[in-house]
Copies of this chain bind each other. A is one copy, B any other.
Amino acid sequence: MGPAAAAELALHLEVAATPMPGNVDRERDAAGLTFGRLQAGAVGARPGFEALAEGASVGAGLERAVAGAAGAAGENTAFGACLLLAPLVAVTPRDGPPDPAAAGRAAADTTVADAVAFYRALEHADVAVPDPPASWDALDARRGAEAVPAVRDRGVTLADVLARAAPTDRNAAEWTEGFPRTARLARRIGADEGPLTERAARAGLHQLATEPDTLVRTRHGPEVAREVRDRAATLVADGATAPDADGEAVRAFAAELVEREINPGTTADLVAAGLYVALRRGERP
């Protein structure tokens, strides 16, 4: 399976990973999204991944993936995951996994043109972003393509944009830090056993327990984000990710988060990126 197919499959497997607290999984729709729309989004993203595998710039490939996903699904389904997958696919060799550090270097080398494509990609999506600093208003992600003139005037690269977002967005932090969470999730998935969707769910719970999800922090504030992390940490400490765990406690937590409309979507994005690296390392569903 080539890089583009693996990237698409990573999106599908993340959606099927169950339980993924607060996210769509096999047992629950969530965040207003149906399972079928997420499947359509993954299918629609593939031509963007093909372009990245064939040498398109990170920004152009990202824009095509996001536009394809949103066009197929009728709404944004995959912006964050595509943001992580774009540099990973771009640096993936034909016969092996991407080096996360190399993806970090590709991210650092992005240009003004990549930033312009990123803002155009935002036009295709309705992405939750925190309030920007006042001095940054012209580049507010919510401005979408309206920000393009300011991007060009100031010579802002996509690396610059994501460096400013990194303190408040874990996906952006992956770009600036060389994809350490992606690498850790891929290692955990690779070391685990059983169907890949179950390994991905266990790795996702570990990530949720490690640091507050930034989409939850943006939408619900730092206290709720810490509460979710602490609850996940307690579940992990109580053995919920052991191979023989019955999963009932995690399922109850998952149902509660959906009920409260708390969606740890950044954690899901990171799991998709970890699945991609694991698939390229030869892991199979």
A12 to B26, CA, bound (A): 13
Decide if B197 touches A36 in the complex (CB within 8 Å): yes
Q: A12-B12, A197-B35 are in contact. Are A40 and B72 (CB under 8 A)?
A: no
Interface SS of chain A: helix, strand, loop or mixed? helix
Residue from B34, B46, B285 in contact with A37 in the complex, judged by beta carbons closer than 8 Å: B285
Decide if A43 touches B1 in the complex (CB within 8 Å): yes
**Which chain A residues (13-48) contact chain B, with CB distance < 8 Å?**
13, 16, 26-27, 34-37, 39-40, 42-44, 46
Taking the complex as formed, is A73 at the interface, i.e. its CB lies under 8 A from any CB of chain B? yes
Interfacial chain B residues near A13, Cβ < 8 Å = 36, 39
**Closest partner residue, chain B, to A41 (CB atom):** B285
Q: A27-B26, A34-B195, A197-B34 are in contact. Are A16 and B43 (CB under 8 A)?
A: no
How many residues on the A side are at the interface (Cβ–Cβ under 8 A)?
Answer: 28
Interfacial chain B residues near A74, Cβ < 8 Å = 284-285
Interfacial chain B residues near A44, Cβ < 8 Å = 1, 5
1/0 contact string of A230-245 vs chain B (CB within 8 Å): 0000000000000000
Decide if A35 touches B26 in the complex (CB within 8 Å): yes
Interfacial chain B residues near A5, Cβ < 8 Å = 43-44, 46, 72
Contact residues of A with B, CB < 8 Å? 1, 5, 8-9, 12-13, 16, 26-27, 34-37, 39-40, 42-44, 46, 71-74, 195-197, 284-285
New A-B contacts (10) at CB < 8 Å, excluding given A1-B44, A12-B43: A1-B43, A9-B43, A12-B12, A12-B39, A12-B42, A16-B35, A26-B35, A37-B285, A39-B285, A74-B284
